[in-house]
Amino acid sequence: MRLFFFCFLVLLSACNSSGNSKEKDTVTNDNPEVITNGQVTAVVPVKLSADQIPASLRFRGKLNEAWQWKDKLGDNILITSVVAPFNDKQKNEYEGEGQTAELHAFHFIKKDTVYRILWKISDAEKACPFDITTEFMKGATMITDLDSNGIAETTIQYKLACRSDVSPAYMKLIMHEDTLKYSLRGAMWIQAGADDKFTVTENDMNLEKLPGKADEYEQILQSFGRYESEKEFATAPAAFLQHARKQWIKYVKENFE
């Protein structure tokens, strides 16, 4: 009954290269001055349409979402964008060619009368010869102030895959507060058979804290729906990791529509 499923698991590392993907993160060092007059009391994000984005803001790709808010750092705009698959001449790890698709996120902040980039992230599936997936999780982008310090946190989630089978995509959750970054990364969960049940909970979603499986098949199964580590949250307020865990489990089940 699980023969087909086992076959694709054996090929998982060869057919899905997203697990080795690493987003390119650029952070500026000239942080804006913090407002000290105490006027900022709540972070209220507002979604922007394409024609509401200031013309001076430049970003790569097609607009996915844009959000604007004010906090102690000033006037903020978060933009996420995508670049549809295109042919390029890059070689993949197997010296083959394919298509490349990209994801981008930009946090702009207004200093005086000019917007500048506080941080940006670029990620991609490159030279993919199979079916390519680069998507932000719909509804997952959040602007919060979990530690009530008047500086907003941003949360984005997206998935990446290059696959010729039913293997799960690779999901990333990335939070920022100012220029501080916290991330979770791991394989999504898919239902490959009628008897497969989603059993991941907030208490056992960290692979690093689970005992390893002697059987390779069982080890791969255990990784589905779980992130690899939460080390990046070690210095973050506890509320950040609690939020990230809830967001992870909310979106980690992959549906093929």
Q: Are 47 and 67 in contact (CB under 8 A)?
A: yes
DSSP strand pairing (180-187 vs 170-177): antiparallel
**Closest listed residue to residue 174, CA positions, set 191, 160, 190:** 160
- Residue 27: how many other CB atoms lie within 10 Å: 16
Q: Give which of 232, 253, 241, 239 is closest to 203, Cα–Cα.
A: 241
Separation between Cα atoms, residue 104 and residue 124, nearest integer Å: 9
- The SS3 of residue 197 is coil
3-state class of 249 per DSSP? helix
- Single-letter amino acid code for the residue at 144: T
**pLDDT tens track for 225-241:** 999 999 999 999 999 99
Predicted local distance difference test score (pLDDT) of residue 28? 54
For residues 222 and 204, the answer to whether their CB atoms sit within 8 Å is no
Nearest C-alpha neighbor of 143 from the set 188, 79, 205: 79
The pTM (predicted TM-score) of the whole model is 0.86
- The tally of CA atoms less than 13 A away on the side-chain side of residue 86 is 8
Q: Which residues does the chain have with pLDDT short of 50?
A: 1-15, 19-20, 29-38, 40
What is the tens place of the pLDDT at every residue in 45-66? 999 999 999 999 999 999 999 9
Residue 27 has a pLDDT of: 59
Strands 131-136 and 142-144: unpaired
